[in-house]
Each structure stands twice: as structure tokens, then as C-alpha cells.
């Protein structure tokens, strides 16, 4: 296998590999800084559709300067290599953190951060179309960063880089209109974010069919998922984001953020509080009684 060499970069190793590209850890020599170097798979270079889409991704993200969106440093091609240099972020993704388990407060924090990123992208006429845990990275441990705009769409761009009717996105997080191959707008990202939020809260996806087709059909036909009782104060958010009809969903990320502000955790019931503290009260009373008895015996 030919060793990868790209002028201006020292390749250190592989960070990840997918069907369309490989991401390398590299050092940008001019600034002596680590970068994630995304390189289009050589087998796709001969197809202009793929390298045009690759370049389009870089140009889209380069225009988006936001603390919750990955930063692009450079995009170019050298010989048969199309590459994109991005900021190097923590290797573990939101997918890893979900597997470890998140608190409801962490899930809410990440929801807000991703919503702000999407709101900014949408204001700049860009829809992501592939929101999923593997595409959420982290900066400074607790700052969620949206990445991989490989199938993003500039709403002002009328060119067609995907076949008519081709369903973009990942079936597990796909909006009903994506599953049906219908025209998309920013609300498809908000639907996917709703699926992601449900998964952050519960550790599992709401719709899981036996295959991709059945899963996509569930997004179109299955009823809205219900959260466990302990989390049901978040149900209004899930309901608004996962509406089958785009018109019934939150119309924007800003509307979603306003909705999140209105959701407060349920106060603990009196019965729960008594049940929770009763063992400690009994233990304290017993301890005091023992101390008093011991003191009385010593005084005799």
C-alpha cells in the first residue's frame, strides 16, 4: 500500500475510517499544530459526484464559525488525494458517552449545545441531514461539537449531487420526510435531534426495526415514544421534536431552546421524601439513644 504523503502535513496515524473517507491524525507543519486530516477514499476519486460532494462539505463548514461546530483549516487536493484539515478533537464521540450512561442534566446540556449549532447552521441556509451520536464530538470535555457535514445541503444551492429519491441520512435517526424521499428543510434536523435526545435520556433508540427499511417505516408510522415516568417532564420536548408532520414540530432551533427553558424537573413528592429520609432519621435516633445510654452508665 502506497504511503500517504500530503505537502504541509506530517501523518501520524489513523483516527477513523469509513466507506467514503479516512481521518488521519496529522501535524500541520506551518503552524506545528495537530489536525484531523480527512481524506476521500481513493476508490471514489474517479467519480466526480463524490469529490464534488467532499469539496462542498468543506466549503459549507468553512462558512460556519460557531463554538459547537467543528472548525475547518484547509481543503485542497494533491495528486489523487482530496483532503480536508480540521481541528483535532477528543476521539470519543457522543455515541461512546451514551454507552457509558448520561445523567438527564448532561443530556439536556448537550441537547442545548447541538440545538445552538443547528440554529446557527440553519440561519446560514445549511441543513445537516445526518444528525447522529457518531457525528457529535467533544472539545474541552463538556462542549459538544457538530461534525461531518458530508451530506449537508445549502438551501440556496439548487444543484443536485444525489440521485432523485435517494434517501440521505442514517435510518435510525431519519425524519419521516427523509424516509419518504420528500423535500427537506431545517425541521428534518430537529426531528433527528429529538431521536438523539431520547437516546441520550434512555440509552436506547425509540425506533429499532429488524432492518433499515423497517426502521425507516417506523419513523413514518409508529406512535410517539414515551419516556419513563422519572423522565416524563421531558416528554413535551420529545413530542414536539418527533411529530410526524414537519408543520407540527418546533419550527426552529430557537423555538426548541425556548421550550427547553420551560421544562422543569418534577418536585419530589412528600411520600418519596419521607421514604428516602426515614432510614437516616431512625439511624440517627438510635445512635443518639446509644450515646445517652453509654453516658448514663458511665456516670453510675
Residue 132 has pLDDT above 90, yes or no: yes
pLDDT at 152 over 90: no
pLDDT value of residue 56: 81
Please state, as a whole number, how many other Cβ atoms lie within 10 Å of the Cβ of residue 60: 21
How far is 174 from 154, CA to CA, in rounded Å?
Answer: 18
Check the annotation: does 38 bind a ligand: yes
89-115 confidence digits (pLDDT tens): 988 899 999 999 999 999 999 999 999
**Would you place residue 295 in the very low, low, confident or very high pLDDT band (cuts 50, 70, 90)?**
low
Residues involved in catalysis? 130
Please tell me the predicted confidence (pLDDT) of residue 258.
97
- Average of per-residue pLDDT values in the chain: 86
Three-state DSSP state, 128: coil
Q: What is the DSSP string of 220-234?
A: HHSPPP---GGGGGG
Tell me which of 51 and 282 has the higher pLDDT.
Answer: 51
Evaluate whether 40 touches 81 at the Cβ level (below 8 Å): yes
Q: pLDDT > 70: what percent of the chain?
A: 81
Position 90 scores a pLDDT of 85
pTM over 0.85: no
Amino acid at each position: 500500500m502506497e504511503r500517504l504523503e500530503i505537502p504541509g502535513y506530517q501523518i501520524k496515524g489513523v483516527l477513523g475510517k469509513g466507506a467514503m473517507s479516512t481521518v488521519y491524525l496529522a501535524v500541520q507543519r506551518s503552524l506545528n499544530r495537530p489536525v484531523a486530516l480527512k481524506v476521500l477514499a481513493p476508490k471514489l476519486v474517479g467519480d466526480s459526484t463524490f469529490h464534488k460532494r467532499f469539496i462542498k462539505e468543506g466549503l459549507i463548514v468553512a462558512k460556519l464559525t460557531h463554538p459547537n461546530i467543528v472548525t475547518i483549516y484547509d481543503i485542497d487536493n494533491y495528486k489523487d488525494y482530496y483532503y480536508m484539515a480540521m481541528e483535532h478533537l477528543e476521539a470519543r464521540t457522543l455515541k461512546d458517552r451514551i454507552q457509558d450512561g448520561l445523567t438527564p442534566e448532561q443530556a439536556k446540556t448537550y441537547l442545548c449545545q447541538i440545538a445552538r449549532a443547528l440554529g446557527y447552521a440553519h440561519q446560514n441556509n445549511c441543513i445537516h441531514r445526518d444528525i447522529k451520536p457518531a457525528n457529535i464530538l467533544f472539545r474541552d470535555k463538556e462542549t459538544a461539537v457538530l461534525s461531518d457535514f458530508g451530506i449537508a445541503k445549502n438551501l440556496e444551492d439548487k444543484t443536485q449531487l444525489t440521485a432523485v429519491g435517494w434517501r440521505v441520512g442514517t435510518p435510525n435517526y431519519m425524519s419521516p420526510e427523509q424516509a419518504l424521499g420528500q423535500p427537506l428543510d431545517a425541521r428534518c434536523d430537529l426531528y433527528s435531534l429529538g431521536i438523539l435526545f431520547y437516546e441520550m435520556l434512555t440509552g436506547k433508540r425509540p425506533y429499532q426495526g429488524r432492518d433499515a427499511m423497517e426502521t425507516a417505516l417506523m419513523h413514518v408510522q409508529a406512535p410517539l415514544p414515551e419516556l419513563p415516568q422519572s423522565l416524563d417532564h421531558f416528554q413535551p420536548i420529545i413530542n414536539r421534536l418527533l411529530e410526524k408532520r414537519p408543520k407540527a414540530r418546533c419550527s426552529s432551533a430557537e423555538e426548541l431552546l425556548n421550550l427547553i427553558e420551560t421544562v422543569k424537573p418534577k418536585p419530589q413528592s412528600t411520600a418519596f421524601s419521607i421514604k428516602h429520609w426515614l432510614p437516616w432519621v431512625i439511624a440517627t435516633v438510635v445512635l443518639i439513644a446509644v450515646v445517652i445510654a453509654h453516658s448514663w452508665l458511665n456516670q453510675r
